[in-house]
Amino acid sequence: MEQFKGHPRLPKFAVPKRYDITLKPDLTACSFGGSVAVHLDIVSDTRFIVLNAADLSVDAASLSFASSKVLFKPWKVETFEEDEILVLEFGETLPIGSGVLGIGFEGILNDKMKGFYRSTYEHNGKKKNMAVTQFAPVDARRCFPCWDEPAWKKTKWIGHLKTVSFQESPIMSTYLAAVVVGLFDYVEDHTSDGVKVRVYCQVGKANQGKFALDVAVKTLEFYRDYFAVPYSLPKLDMVAIPDFPGAMENYGLVTYQETALLFDEQHSAAANKQWVATAVAHELAHQWFGNLVTMEWWTLLWLNEGFATWVSYLATDSLFPEWKMWTKFLDEITGGLKLDGLEGSHPIEVEINHAAEVVEIFDAISYRKGASVIRMLQNYLGAECFQGSLAAYIKKHASSNAKTEDLWAALQEGSGEPVNKLMNSWTQQKGYPVISVKVKDQKLEFEQTQFYSSGSQGDGQWIVPITLCCGSYDVRKSFLLQKKFESFDIKEFLGCSVAETACRGSLCSWIKINVDQIGFYRVKYEQELSAALRNAIEKKHLSATDRFGILDDSFALSMARQQSFASLLTLLGAYREELDCTVLSNLIPISYKLATIAADAVPELLDLINQFFIGLFQYSAEQLGWEPKPGESQLDAMLRGDILTALAVFGHDLTIDEASRRFHAFLLDRNTPLLPPDIRKAVYVAVMQRVSMSNRSGYESLLRVYRETDLREEKTRILRSVASCPDPNIILEVLNFLLSSEVRSQDAVVGLSVSSKGQETAWTWLKDNWEHISKTWGSGYLIRFFFSSIVSPLASFEKVNEVDEFFKSHPNPSITRTLKQSIEREFLDRMDLVRSRFLDVGFDFRRIGLLVAISVPISLGSFVVGIWDPGGDRAFTVVEQYFAEFVKKVTEANLEGSPNSP
């Protein structure tokens, strides 16, 4: 038996064809028993049958063949827990042919949100258990013995204490099977071609499922037409589970945590409506791309998740065009770029050698980078060609397994383009390029180098679909950059002699590379091109997607020491009248990061830096106001809360005062119109800014609201807010509260984003509670949140070694890659290194402090002053120009006799 230990894949002596499963859950004892009859083919001589099983007690096993009356019973049965396999050894070689393997087993309904587990809910004031499954990626083996690999497709029957038999399923993989046993309400509808769709939820919450139901019906119809293949089952059930880690695309029985499926028209924020729509669209995309056509092995996870992420935006955009989903998609691209810029990243197609490694690739590379390169390819091939080729791929591989090469072959056949060659450079190597652009001797020069957040350069090379605009979105060019370096004559390439209105001399007024930020790469512009783009942003000549892209690239390049922080702060000034939700959703966290850098590098100037960012966001806040406006878009409703949250975090007293007033009104009347759902998080964060051990009332009040509400969205909203307190002692209380029985396991991770003053406290807390945390979350993807929220932000040389040493003495194989990435992020962001970066680029925070001081709002009006970079004459000229404007305004005000004149 020892020969089967340590192998990544199961041997292929036997091939499963069908499973008949009986499950008997005991919701009181939280245990279950069951049996499985596996119809299989013995395809080669063997005395062994090897399949997956974990946390199960096997009490009987036998093998029978239709061709023989002999009942084969194994003389030895052993489970290897480390490899999660069950090995049956028989006394003689098994006959070739079809047979039935019968196995009896028992297990525990665990509290780990994997396998066959228990969730809790309240009904008529009493706490009750329900039994739920979560099998992806490799946990069907915790419910019944099986060939638990995606390439082994099969059928399934299920039941509970009152025996219920279900229609035989289509051929499918084990990880897509599902069981839910509990008490539910539901709402129901049908698609135009007769598919029954239901949303199940806790009793009394049926109305909260109506929005998701409507989205599901319309999305099924959209995918039916887009893939040119109808949904393959007669019904679709979607279930809201109180304890559940995200959402899972089980075939015909899709499971969600409550916040991803339920929407309360009266009490839910606009952002949650968008979240529900995209979550439903994502999981239903899997019914085709993943369930009907399944990856052959977990190395190809991105085929499932990357595609479902991309097409969920396509579907949601078709249902809600006013949401501007392709602008929102930039968040996916940015998330992929951030992780893929680390030297500890991995290729889209990453080799998986053991089931324990699978959970770590459910990350931004598989989902976000995967989705981004698919969109880049669709844009290159054209939407119509892409759709037709995709439909052909689905039809060809329906009810079977496929590899990346199969998708490329379908797209290459449909388009006539070298898709395989083009895309292999993006899926089979980690990282991405930064494209440097400059003008030299009337030539436009492009150079690609591998981008690393550390500032070092890799040796990767890609075939890059380049798109560009020159002075106008009507003047476009596109080409494939296949070499490290290429140059083009401006007059011939851009047609400048023809497009005189878009040009200034021999150079266009502005040139934007990577139009609408569709390509998965960054762009670095020479100084003159960069200044022209900054001017175009100020004059509102660029689209929101391009404004987002320029900002994100500039920030990443500054952090990687490829451009100065001075140039970044100068660029920020161009966004002082920004009103686009998605652009500001990136500008805000960038501002938080820069404020954190300032706090560590020059704490004596932190107040000035905070005033700089307050000035940056005040125009947007004034335009949006506190009150919802009649007929305003959902995007404005979402933006209002984000902007007010930022002002509160930066210590804007007027915002915090108004938030406190509205919060007190809310405590007196939970239905007050002064605190609509879209601004509640902002108000809660503002309240926590003034909480301390000597002034706990705001914190205690929020805990009271948490305990009184039964709306899951409100509970998570409070959890996301309370750790923003600046008092480390309160933060410790919050972190301990997250581990209490009052907080569900999947909700605990949302409360981990502590304020900058609580980072050391959080690190100590993590070490003190690591045994419990590792036991509770250690084998699932949620463990990553503890690293990204607590480990990554740590900021000193000493902490790098301390973190490394701690986890060496507390190893967990399933988080090895995540730990490496977190330590790399910590190394990149630690302030000692950042301080040296400022010296490297000649940036002096003390000098900038004086300029920030005169850029804050004053009675004469607010304007942003350029930044003095001692290493650049041009930057100094900008400061002189702005200062001359400042003096001019002051002089005019004095002549007018303004009582507020300096």
824 is in an annotated binding site: no
Distance between CA atoms of residues 455 and 693, nearest Å: 42
The 3-class SS string of 453-477 reads CCCCEECCCCCEEEEEEECCCCCEE
Distance between CA atoms of residues 309 and 287, nearest Å: 13
Strand partners, 248: 255
Asked if residues 188 and 135 have their Cβ atoms less than 8 Å apart, the reply is no
User: Which helix (H) or strand (E) element contains residue 617?
Assistant: helix 606-624
Cα→Cα distances 653→649, 687, 690, 747, 750, Å: 10, 11, 10, 31, 27
Distance between CA atoms of residues 336 and 334, nearest Å: 5
What backbone phi and psi angles, to 5 degrees, belong to 107? -155, 180
E-strand ranges in 762-824 read none
Which of the residues 84, 149, 283, 713 is marked catalytic? 283
Helix (H, G, I), strand (E, B), or coil: what is residue 254? strand
282 is in an annotated binding site: yes
Order across the sheet with 126-134: list the strands.
Answer: 115-123, 126-134, 180-181
Distance between CA atoms of residues 599 and 421, nearest Å: 47
Which residue in 458, 364, 387, 320 sits closest to 784, CA to CA? 364
User: Which helix (H) or strand (E) element contains residue 215?
Assistant: helix 210-227
Cβ burial of 60 (10 Å; 0-12, 13-18, 19+) is exposed
Chain centroid to Cα 151, Å, comes to 27
Distance between CA atoms of residues 236 and 216, nearest Å: 9
Asked if residues 136 and 174 have their Cβ atoms less than 8 Å apart, the reply is no
Whether the CA torsion 70, 75, 79, 83 is positive or negative: it is negative
Distance between CA atoms of residues 555 and 209, nearest Å: 40
DSSP structural state of residue 602: -
Strand partners, 488: 444
Residue 479, CA atoms < 13 Å, CB-side half-sphere: 11
Strand partners, 724: none
Distance between CA atoms of residues 16 and 449, nearest Å: 48
Angle at 598 between CA 594 and CA 602, to 5 degrees: 165
190 is in an annotated binding site: no
Cα→Cα distances 306→290, 520, 584, 737, 865, Å: 11, 13, 25, 35, 42
Per-residue tokens: 477: 């060019």
What backbone phi and psi angles, to 5 degrees, belong to 306? -65, -45
Strand partners, 485: 447
**283 labelled catalytic:** yes
User: Which helix (H) or strand (E) element contains residue 270?
Assistant: helix 270-285
Angle between helices 419-427 and 370-381 (to 10 degrees): 160
Cβ burial of 759 (10 Å; 0-12, 13-18, 19+) is buried
Return the active site residues: 283
Q: Residue ranges for the binding site for Zn(2+)?
A: 282, 286, 305
Binding site: residue ranges? 282, 286, 305
